[in-house]
Amino acid sequence: MKGKLITALVAAVLAGAAFIIFTHKQMAPEVRFMTLAGESIMTSQLRGKVVLVNFWATTCSVCLREMPRLIATHRRFDGERFETIAVAMEYDPPNRVKAYADAKALPFKVALDAGGLVAKAFGDVRATPTTYLINKRGEIVRKYLGEPDFAALRAVVLELLAETG
């Protein structure tokens, strides 16, 4: 039964469908994001903001297809205590990530996951895209495996921005 569920999940993700995995509001792991710009950002430094963490790769067609909507979402909430961090997978060559980020003028922080420590801390992320929404208290409130429904994701962001704390 478990094998059939995993096979169905992988097939749906490959077809471009997203699964929303609701969490029990577990705390986001304390990790260090190392950005292309040379910034070092700890998860705890992001408290007080709604944070979207997107694991992606330049070799992932679904990731590249969703990137314009990720950019639009970031721009929609930029300046509203909202942060987007796109985490390039460990296997993605840094020069390729930088070239893509520069070519597309990505307006959000792009982090390299050398050693795969960030992906491991977030539950051993292996499939891309995988996206997490974190509330102002640092709790993971949504996990999306595959390309999210961005209209629904934006609605959740609005709710999270309206929360106090």
65-113, pLDDT tens digit by residue? 999 999 999 999 998 999 999 999 999 999 999 999 999 999 999 999 9
Q: Could you tell me the CATH number of the domain that includes residue 18?
A: 3.40.30.10
| pLDDT of 142 higher than 60 | yes
| pLDDT of 3 higher than 80 | no
150: nearest Cα among 58, 40, 52? 52
Cβ-in-10-Å burial (0-12, 13-18, 19+) of 145 comes to buried
* pLDDT confidence bin for 20, thresholds 50/70/90: low
* pLDDT confidence bin for 139, thresholds 50/70/90: very high
Q: How far is it, in rounded angstroms, from Cα 27 to Cα 16?
A: 28
**Count of structural domains within the chain:** 1
pLDDT given at position 72:
98
Q: What is the mean pLDDT of residues 6-19?
A: 51
* pLDDT confidence bin for 49, thresholds 50/70/90: very high
* pLDDT confidence bin for 4, thresholds 50/70/90: low
pLDDT given at position 15:
47
Mean pLDDT score of the chain: 90
pLDDT given at position 2:
54
Which helix (H) or strand (E) covers residue 34, if one does? strand 32-35
Helix axes 61-77, 150-162, angle to 10 degrees: 40
Domain carrying residue 24: 2-162
Residues whose CB is less than 8 angstroms from the CB of residue 135 and which lie 6 or more positions away in sequence, other chains included: 25, 50, 141, 160, 163
